[in-house]
Amino acid sequence: MLDVLLGLVRRDLLLALRNKSDVGTALLFFVIVTSLFPLGIGAEPGLLRAIAPGVIWVAALLSSMLSLGRLFAADHADGTLEQMVLGAAPLGAVAAAKTLAHWLVSGLPLVLIAPLIALQYDLPLSLYGVLVLSLLLGTPTLSLIGAIGAALTLGLRGGGVLLSLLVLPLYVPVLIMGAGGVEMAAAGMSGQGHLLLLAAMLVGAAAFAPWAIAAALRISLE
């Protein structure tokens, strides 16, 4: 079964690389949104440092949503998803593999480019590690939660709007903990509590979200 799941991750990564515009859209959106704030509010270093964690996290959250609608859509359109449901591998494990591939394509690039974005906000170098770690813990949770919404809205007309309404309220705790950890570190206090809560959210989402995704897929296919 492990070979099947690794093959599924490899397949989704290859498909994503063949459609590089889909990968580049989320990354370009992240760069553009985070770059507009310094241009719009001015070059006051203190103000930029104060808003940097929140802006970067909100931009990462919105960027991760751009590709959620395509997470299961292509497999649903060509009938592959039905074969996955009927396959030997548990559907929850298949959902976890597809969500992992989605994060590698849409979430990991945001984590890697975040230090470069932080330069625009004159963020101290001592905060880069906290920022990257918070995104590394938080963005997989965003992908897992978003995948539940993508499965529930699969095949619905206007599903993109409904998907946003479903997942945005669930994203709020991750956003608060992620941005709050960086802000606490910037204030000279320990952001470890926020990072531990992010890690706990990730563990909980990784344990339960794949089976919720599987149940939502079965409902959508019926």
Rg (CA), the chain: 18
Q: pLDDT digits over 143-175, tens only?
A: 999 999 988 888 777 677 888 888 999 999 999
> Which ranges constitute the DSSP H helices of 42-158?
45-66, 73-77, 80-86, 91-106, 108-119, 128-152
- pTM, two decimals, is 0.90
Q: pLDDT digits over 191-207, tens only?
A: 889 999 999 999 999 99
Q: Which domain holds residue 27?
A: 2-221
What distance in Å separates the CA atoms of residue 71 and residue 67, rounded to the nearest whole number? 7
Count of domains for the chain: 1
